[in-house]
């Protein structure tokens, strides 16, 4: 608790990808970022977005948006179309910055923001791999934003994104955490506590928190990022009830 404290504003770059938290990709991105912005604090927000699922990623990222520091830059990459015609873009949404592919992933964050701006990335550097734009384009652009080196040759303002998802949410399971809790793409804000959530032939009543129900009981609640989530106290709801990403839910 002793020591010499130097306080400055944190320079924060967050990573949100389907690169896998145990794989060879994230380290290469960090090596690139560190060489370009040595003082940045690079935070792994999530690397296990369901593989190739830009839609699930879009709703999850929008739910995490409020947890992100103002002025932070998030490199968001779920990019099965890497190397194809889909465009790389930058989005500024209510004071947070995002860099990633224009495939829907950033469209919910942008669509829900009070103020949002969008730029297309015109990447000039020829040394780019065909399959790893996270390391070769998105990381350098994130670094550029953090360094405030704004180049009009690289960033062209555009009116709107090519791929735009419904900002209202999606009545599906979009993510299952390691406890086995199943998050839906539904915001919990305007849902009444009396509502009953259904998934196939199962139905779930509301509880405020895990410790309010007996161990092993299933319920729905508003989770810590504001989403409606199906959970069990001290057990895996996903395993016990055989829930997978993409399962449809509905209210009754």
Residues 73-92 binding a copy of itself (CB under 8 A) are 73, 80-84
Instruction: Provide long-range contacts, Cβ within 8 A and 24+ apart, for 125-131.
Output: 130/82, 130/83, 131/82, 131/83
- Classify residue 193 as left (phi > 0), alpha (psi -120 to 50) or beta: alpha
124 interacts with a copy of itself by CB under 8 A: no
Q: Which residues pair with 232 in a beta bridge?
A: 218, 235
Instruction: Provide long-range contacts, Cβ within 8 A and 24+ apart, for 126-132.
Output: 130/82, 130/83, 131/82, 131/83, 132/25, 132/28, 132/82
**Which residue, 7 or 201, has its beta carbon nearer to a copy of itself?**
7
**Which residue, 52 or 200, has its beta carbon nearer to a copy of itself?**
52
Stretch that binds a copy of itself, among 47-55, 114-122, 152-160, 163-171 (CB under 8 A): 47-55
What sign for the dihedral angle of Cα 78, 81, 87, 88? positive
Minimum distance between the CB of residue 161 and a copy of itself, rounded to whole angstroms?
19
Among 54, 60, 121, 243, binds a copy of itself (CB under 8 A): 60
Q: Number of residues in contact with a copy of itself, rule: CB under 8 A?
A: 77
| CB atoms inside a 10 Å sphere around CB 166 | 13
146 interacts with a copy of itself by CB under 8 A: yes
Place of tokens 């989005």: 91
Q: Are the beta carbons of 43 and 50 closer than 8 angstroms?
A: no
Minimum distance between the CB of residue 241 and a copy of itself, rounded to whole angstroms?
17
Q: Are the beta carbons of 155 and 91 closer than 8 angstroms?
A: no
Residue 102 token pair: 């224009």
117 interacts with a copy of itself by CB under 8 A: no
Near a copy of itself in 167-226, by CB under 8 A: 175, 177-179, 208-212, 221, 223-225
Q: Are the beta carbons of 223 and 188 closer than 8 angstroms?
A: yes
119 by DSSP, 3-state: which? strand
47 interacts with a copy of itself by CB under 8 A: yes
164 by DSSP, 3-state: which? coil
125 interacts with a copy of itself by CB under 8 A: no
Stretch that binds a copy of itself, among 111-119, 145-153, 164-172, 241-249 (CB under 8 A): 145-153
Minimum distance between the CB of residue 84 and a copy of itself, rounded to whole angstroms?
4
Near a copy of itself in 90-109, by CB under 8 A: 97
* Integer Cα distance of 21 and 47 in angstroms: 5
240 interacts with a copy of itself by CB under 8 A: no
Stretch that binds a copy of itself, among 4-12, 166-174, 191-199, 241-249 (CB under 8 A): 4-12
Among 101, 135, 186, 219, binds a copy of itself (CB under 8 A): 135
Q: Which residues pair with 147 in a beta bridge?
A: none
């Amino acid at each position: 608790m002793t020591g010499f404290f130097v306080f400055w504003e944190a320079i924060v770059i967050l990573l949100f990808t389907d690169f896998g938290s145990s794989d060879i990709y994230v380290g290469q991105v960090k090596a690139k970022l560190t060489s370009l912005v040595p003082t940045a604090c690079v935070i792994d927000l999530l690397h296990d977005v369901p593989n190739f699922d830009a839609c699930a990623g879009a709703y999850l990222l929008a739910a995490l948006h409020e947890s992100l520091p103002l002025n932070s830059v998030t490199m968001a990459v779920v990019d099965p179309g890497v190397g194809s015609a889909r465009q790389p873009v930058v989005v500024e949404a209510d004071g947070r910055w995002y860099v990633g592919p224009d495939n829907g992933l950033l469209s919910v964050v942008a669509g829900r923001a009070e103020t949002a701006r969008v730029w297309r990335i015109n990447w000039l550097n020829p040394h780019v791999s065909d399959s790893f734009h996270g390391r070769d384009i998105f990381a350098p652009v994130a670094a550029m934003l953090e360094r405030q080196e704004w180049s009009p040759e690289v960033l062209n303002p555009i009116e709107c994104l090519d791929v735009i998802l419904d900002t209202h949410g999606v009545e599906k399971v979009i993510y299952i955490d390691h406890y086995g809790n199943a998050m839906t793409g539904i915001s919990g804000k305007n849902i009444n506590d009396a509502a009953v959530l259904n998934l196939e032939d199962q139905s779930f009543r509301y509880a405020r928190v895990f410790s309010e129900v007996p161990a092993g009981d299933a319920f729905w609640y508003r989770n810590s990022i504001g989403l409606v989530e199906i959970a069990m106290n001290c057990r895996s709801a996903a395993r016990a009830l055989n829930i997978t990403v993409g399962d449809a839910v509905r209210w009754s």
